[in-house]
Structure 1
Amino acid sequence: MNTINVPTHARRWSAVAAACALTAGPVALAGAGPAHATEGHGHASASVLRTDLDVSLLNKSVQVPLTVSLNEVEAPRSARKTALTATLDGVDHGKPFSVLSAGTADAVATVEGDTAEASTTLADARLHVPGLPLLSLVELEAVSSKAVCEAGKSPHASVTLPAAVTVLGKRVALSAGGPTHVEVPGVGAVRLDLSQTETTSATAAATALRLEVSVNPANLNVAEVEGRLTLAESRCETPAAAEEESEAAAPETPADEDAAVEPQGARAETNLAETGGDSATPYVAAGAVALLAAGGGAVLVSRRGRRN
């Protein structure tokens, strides 16, 4: 019997070819796994108080914009604030002036998973404007607002109001039928817009009170105050659903290609079941073929060397 000696370098190339054939399949399989969708961020914001007022000092010699916010939060950047007072400097003879004081002033904004939510609560509150340090512009017991935006559901906005508030010293019953006007001779006028909510397919907003103010006290260090104040405002924007982002990221497969692939997969599963093989069987077979081909090549090279 003739013995064929395969050169060392041929045997090495055979082993390398077999290893490559065995590892090629699993690598391709790992790369073909499902894509993981990234959830949308959504957005939520809340504020207990925001002012946009113009203050004119005596004889209108100085114009001071009064822009103050209390417990203004946004998510996902910030979550909650509970400060009880908002002050302004440089109006009341250079001393800090209290715009709002409250027993409870809470603003929360969160974005978790597929839900964005904002809420505010204000209770036992007194709101002042420059020129009226002793007389409250508004006194109220409790108001709150809430906005919830959840993927796959309609956004929701709600407001809770007391039955009455005190405006410029007058007790006023609140009505949802329209704005409420309060006027005090020699002091000024206030218009209250109540319980405003707005929703779209992806957003929600709720405001407990919005006040239009015009104050002109007769004999104080402030001549005139004009502008708007907003109390207990909540807003949200619905996060993108994970399923929607997954569909947008996944490549489209033509229908005819799916039809062509499915029978082949079915036949492969049937053959594996009949032979008792598992999912690694195709890769082992491919490695064996590569090994035989490499060995045959090595034999051919050896024979030619002997003839020469």
Structure 2
Amino acid sequence: MNSNTFRMPVRRLAATSASLALLTAPAALATTGTAHATTEQGRASAVVLRTGLDVSLLDKTVQVPLDLSLNEVQAPRSSEKTALTATLDGVDHGKPFTVLRADAASAEAEVTKHKAEGRTELAHAKVHVPGLPLLSLIEVGAVSSRATCEAGRKPVAEADLLGAVTVLGKKVSLTTGGTTEVKVPGVGEVGLALSSTRTTSRTAAASALELKVSVNPLELNVAEVEGTVTLAGATCEAPTAPPAAKPQPKPEKPVADVEPKTSEAKPEQNLAETGGSSTTPYLAGGGAVLLGLGGGAVLLARRNRNNRASRSGS
């Protein structure tokens, strides 16, 4: 059986609010780890169980945190985990203490060039806290969450819960958009928020169940347990959309060389441009004939005149 085992720290390691920052505020993605708000690569995370609990011992001399997670994954280093139990050492007289046990538990985080996505699934799970080894803090049938962030699109956060929910041995009916309070005299109280989702322009976060715990079992040398438990959480931050490529101008089609068309001029049009008309050739021919006839007549008259002059002299 897959399992995760954690040792109880001896001093307060981190504030409860800090341990839940990744799930309770999508904006925390921009401040945890390496800064990436200005990079083009997206980010995603998923976790099946996360606790941020303070455990006080009876003598009040020691107050220690119970901060652990099960199947926590982060991308861009895309990964998947499917451990079924989370175990804590050092609170049950040195024996391992099982915080969560499930029939199915998986968390996946994946980042591609255009999308970042975190998703979780949990089925038939029981969560225990120190001091209540036999009584479950909560039992759920099936819960899941998904956070999807695509470049250039509105992020989506989804969380679902199917089946019955039992808190401190009591079956409860959860309401969306509010908190359900469960109180058990002599044991404690639990406030449950169902299907919490948040989105911004580039981020999304979802958790199927968020529990605010305050129990006082007075067993196992434990006086009080307070804090938060989150089941099935997922977050994402979208990759930066690449700038839209400027449309290239279409090449102009080459214009074929076309010689200008010249209409054949009508004869009268050409002749009119020079002051002539269609009868000009005939007139020119007639003039030449008349000129020839006139020259011949002059020569004949001159010859006759010379002949008469010769006869008169003889």
Give the TM-score, by structure 1 length. Answer: 0.66
- CA–CA separation in structure 1 for the residues paired with 2:128 and 2:219: 17
Structure 2 counterparts to residues 6-85 of structure 1, below 5 A: 40-85=40-85
Aligned match of 1:198: 198
- CA–CA separation in structure 2 for the residues paired with 1:163 and 1:124: 9
Q: Structure 1's 119 and 209: CA in aligned 2 closer, same or farther, altered over 3 A?
A: same
- CA–CA separation in structure 1 for the residues paired with 2:219 and 2:69: 28
- CA–CA separation in structure 2 for the residues paired with 1:58 and 1:160: 38
- The higher-RCO structure (CA 8 Å, 6+ apart) is 1
Aligned match of 2:170: 170
- CA–CA separation in structure 2 for the residues paired with 1:141 and 1:43: 29
Kindly report the root-mean-square deviation, in angstroms, between the aligned alpha carbons of the 2 structures: 2.2
Aligned match of 2:116: 116
- CA–CA separation in structure 1 for the residues paired with 2:173 and 2:154: 32
Q: Deviations over 1:89-111 (max 9, x none)?
A: 11110111111011111000001
Aligned match of 1:222: 222
- CA–CA separation in structure 1 for the residues paired with 2:93 and 2:234: 35
Q: Structure 1's 111 and 219: CA in aligned 2 closer, same or farther, altered over 3 A?
A: closer
- CA–CA separation in structure 2 for the residues paired with 1:219 and 1:155: 45
- CA–CA separation in structure 1 for the residues paired with 2:111 and 2:200: 18
- CA–CA separation in structure 2 for the residues paired with 1:206 and 1:169: 26
The structure where helix makes up a greater share of residues is 1
Letter in 1 for 2:98: S
Letter in 1 for 2:129: V
SS of the equivalent of 2:243 reads: helix
Aligned match of 1:301: none
Shift of residue 226, structure 1, vs aligned partner: 0.6
Aligned match of 1:86: 86
- CA–CA separation in structure 2 for the residues paired with 1:214 and 1:208: 20
- CA–CA separation in structure 1 for the residues paired with 2:51 and 2:94: 20
Give the total of aligned pairs.
217
Letter in 1 for 2:181: H
Give the TM-score, by structure 2 length. Answer: 0.65
Q: Deviations over 1:57-97 (max 9, x none)?
A: 22223212100000111111241111111111111101111
Contact kept in structure 2, 1:100 and 1:126, CA below 8 Å: yes
Shift of residue 221, structure 1, vs aligned partner: 2.2
Q: Deviations over 1:11-46 (max 9, x none)?
A: xxxxxxxxxxxxxxxxxxxxxxxxxxxx92101111
- CA–CA separation in structure 2 for the residues paired with 1:188 and 1:115: 43
- CA–CA separation in structure 1 for the residues paired with 2:77 and 2:143: 25
Contact kept in structure 1, 2:93 and 2:220, CA below 8 Å: no
Aligned match of 1:210: 210
Contact kept in structure 2, 1:163 and 1:174, CA below 8 Å: no
The structure with the larger Rg is: 2
- Which ranges of structure 1 fall in alignment gaps of 5 or more residues? 1-38, 248-257, 275-308
Q: Structure 1's 219 and 153: CA in aligned 2 closer, same or farther, altered over 3 A?
A: closer
Letter in 1 for 2:126: R
Letter in 1 for 2:199: T
- CA–CA separation in structure 1 for the residues paired with 2:219 and 2:234: 38
SS of the equivalent of 2:59 reads: helix
Aligned match of 2:97: 97
Contact kept in structure 2, 1:52 and 1:68, CA below 8 Å: yes
Contact kept in structure 2, 1:56 and 1:222, CA below 8 Å: yes
- CA–CA separation in structure 1 for the residues paired with 2:129 and 2:41: 38
- CA–CA separation in structure 1 for the residues paired with 2:215 and 2:77: 37
Aligned match of 1:252: none
Letter in 1 for 2:77: R
Structure 2 counterparts to residues 293-308 of structure 1, below 5 A: none
Letter in 1 for 2:189: A
Q: Does 1:135 align with 2:135?
A: yes
- CA–CA separation in structure 2 for the residues paired with 1:81 and 1:220: 32
Contact kept in structure 2, 1:164 and 1:174, CA below 8 Å: no
- CA–CA separation in structure 2 for the residues paired with 1:117 and 1:220: 41
SS of the equivalent of 2:193 reads: strand
Shift of residue 229, structure 1, vs aligned partner: 0.7
Aligned match of 1:15: none
